[in-house]
Amino acid sequence: MSVRNRDALGGRAAIAGIGATEFSKDSGRSELKLAVEAVRAALDDAGLAPGDVDGLVTFTMDTSPEITVAQAAGMGELSFFSRVHYGGGAACATVQQAALAVAAGIAEVVVCYRAFNERSGRRFGAGVQHREPSAEGAALGWALPFGLLTPASWVAMAAQRYLHTYGLTPEAFGHVAVTDRRYAATNPAAYFHGKPITLEDHAASRWIAEPLRLLDCCQETDGGQALVVTSVERARDLPNPPAVVLAAAQGAGRAQEQMTSFYRDDLTGLPEMGVVARQLWRTSGLGPGDIDVGILYDHFTPFVLTQLEEFGFCAPGEAAGFVAARALPLNTHGGQLGEAYLHGMNGIAEAVRQLRGSAVNQIPGAARALVTAGTGVPTSGLVIGADG
């Protein structure tokens, strides 16, 4: 049974600093150096020093341990350190864990970070090439022998069912790609800066795993991103306006697997994101109509549509029209399709910029943002808001 009551975390912590490296295809330096650069940039943005940090949170997949980052960045003692599992599903949960530590008084300043050479080093798009025996690997054993070896092939199964159920064509996914690239085209930090696309471009791109085309799939990126979380009270004394954590949640659905939850009764939704959505709305007291900008995890375009439906922005099967109508500003940095694939951490930073009023593609009066993490896996989400 998932949580059915409003939790007590909302409004007790804020994101006070954001920092990143450049986003590239060949960083030319180690993942540890990327992590430290991002962490220091986030601390500079927050007006804090390494010695102020007493907590660190990252992904289980990150190759830079908390104590190593602390040493390399010049930090002192740590009273809290934590990691979150399930790849991109961990993004918003890093902020949740940092906020929990701050709210409980376990730490005062917690930095969340993620850094990798995901283009020049290990490439997730290459699929499963070797895996040590594990309970998690056993689930993949039902899919790998039949050629479902890559994330795109796993998502394609659900995407095909979605199109069939609602009588749609792959153009439905193109609206997400076009939206992301429209915003990326005006974002100097984006890899696809100056390169918008059309629905015709989307339809002409090569198949990866039907019904997914190349332009339905996110990038592979080298880079690092970090976020500084502290109390709302302390954040108010720092240089930039606080982005208050109004709600944070994790979610895993029934019959959940990592990307291969094919044995559920229905493949057209994302139950794990439904768990997150219900808790975010309960705790924040908000609903779809209260959100000014949505930063939705876009490793593959179909799951952006199903996220919109899980959160109640539109009815099942209607998300493509919702996106095409520009009913909600979506992935205003360009998303992972257009800006960079940083496992969703760059999306959180964009939401902070929107609330500060400093985004390149600023939405006038943006005061509430919804951010989500990776889908198809156990996942997480945030509702953050401007202070006051």
How far is Cα 261 from Cα 339, in angstroms, rounded to an integer?
28
The whole-chain average pLDDT of the chain stands at 95
Give me the pLDDT at residue 143, please.
83
Residue 342 backbone dihedrals phi, psi, to 5 degrees:
-115, 40
Model pLDDT for residues 257-277, shown as the tens digit of each residue: 999 999 899 999 999 999 999
User: Given pLDDT bands bounded at 50, 70 and 90, which one contains residue 75?
Assistant: very high
pLDDT, average across residues 355-372: 98
Residue 312 backbone dihedrals phi, psi, to 5 degrees:
85, 15
- Sole residue written with tokens 């929990």: 100
pLDDT, average across residues 196-214: 98
CA 96 to chain centre: 13
pTM, two decimals, is 0.96
SS3 call for 89: helix
Give me the pLDDT at residue 136, please.
76
Cα–Cα–Cα angle for 3, 282, 57, nearest 5°?
Answer: 70
Model pLDDT for residues 306-318, shown as the tens digit of each residue: 999 999 999 999 9
Would you say residue 94 has pLDDT above 60?
yes
Residue 63 backbone dihedrals phi, psi, to 5 degrees:
-95, 0
The answer to whether residue 191 is catalytic is no
Model pLDDT for residues 151-192, shown as the tens digit of each residue: 999 999 999 999 999 999 999 999 999 999 999 999 999 999
Note if the bond before 211 is cis, omega within 30 degrees: yes
Q: Which of 86, 113, 162, 297 is catalytic?
A: 297
Q: How does DSSP assign 199-225, residue by residue?
A: HHHHHHSPEEETTEEGGGB----EEEE
Q: DSSP label at 64?
A: S
User: Given pLDDT bands bounded at 50, 70 and 90, which one contains residue 127?
Assistant: low
Cα–Cα–Cα angle for 52, 360, 293, nearest 5°?
Answer: 85
The answer to whether residue 341 is catalytic is yes
Nearest alpha-carbon partner for 182 in 2, 361, 373: 361
Tell me if 380 sits within 8 A of 348, measured CB to CB. no
Would you say residue 137 has pLDDT above 90?
no
Give me the pLDDT at residue 331, please.
98
